[in-house]
Amino acid sequence: MRVELGNTGSRSTIHRYLREIEEEASARLDDEALLSQPIKELVGRLASVLRQEAQSLVEEHQTKHQSQVRSLTDRIQELESSLANTNNTLETKERELKVVLSDHDASKASEETLKANAAKANQANEKLQVLLAEKQAQIESLEEKHRHNREEMEHYRQSVKDQREQDQRKHEHQVQQLQAEIRTLNQTLSVKQGDITQLNKDNGRLAAELGATQKTVAKLEAEQRKLITNLESKSAEVESLKTQLSELEKQSE
């Protein structure tokens, strides 16, 4: 401005003139009386169009807002329903988990009982095995004694036969002495035969006891196999329950 004025006038004076010009121009433009009728009508139509567009825009935003509100309300209801279902499912799973845990504890207690019974059965079986071994050793000892007795008897009989043949070739005066010796030997033989009879009785009694012991051992072995089968079944059931418990814990999480 100062250049256009020929580099004259102070800045405050130029600003003051500019403010006066602006105030004068503003007063003329704001004065509706200075506007022509066509301009006034144009301004009115523009104002009406602006109001309609503004109203349409407001209604569009309201409609969109209401749709969003309804969508959010429906979504909230769905989430609340889903949350309620989830809570119900969680409560059901918790009850099922408690039942499974209770069954697991019961199965564990049953497993411990089965293990204790199996241990007792094993101990009883070991005792029976020891007793059977002792009885078998006794039978073998008796059979060995019986065999020795038979060998001694055969040897004795052969000795008597040889002695008789020798005595028959001897002089007649030795016959009486030999007959006395034969009677003594016959008495000894009777005693030996009595011992053999007693040994046979003992052998029969021990054989009967061995048969009864073998039956008892077979029965205990069958019970042991049954207990082992039950124990394996219970172990498989416990593993299955552990697997179900793990799945239920995952579902609960």
Q: How many CB atoms lie within 10 A of CB 133?
A: 10
> pLDDT by residue (tens digit) across 240-253?
888 888 888 788 77
Burial grade of 179 (CB within 10 A; 0-12, 13-18, 19 or more) = exposed
pLDDT of residue 29: 46
**Residue written as token pair 């004068």:** 24
How many alpha carbons fall within 13 Å on the CB side of residue 57?
6
d(CA 132, CA 220): 13
pLDDT for the residue 245: 82
Mean pLDDT confidence for 29-45: 66
pLDDT digits (tens, 9 = 90+) for 137-194: 888 888 888 888 888 888 888 888 888 888 777 777 777 888 888 888 888 888 888 8
- Residue pLDDT, tens place only, 53-105: 888 888 888 888 888 888 888 888 888 888 888 888 888 888 888 888 887 78
At position 156, the amino acid (one-letter code) is: Y
Classify burial at 138, counting beta carbons within 10 Å of its beta carbon; exposed 0-12, middle 13-18, buried 19 or more.
middle
3-state SS, residue 139: helix
- Give the per-residue pLDDT at 32: 54
Query: Do 90 and 242 form a contact (C-beta atoms < 8 A)?
Result: no
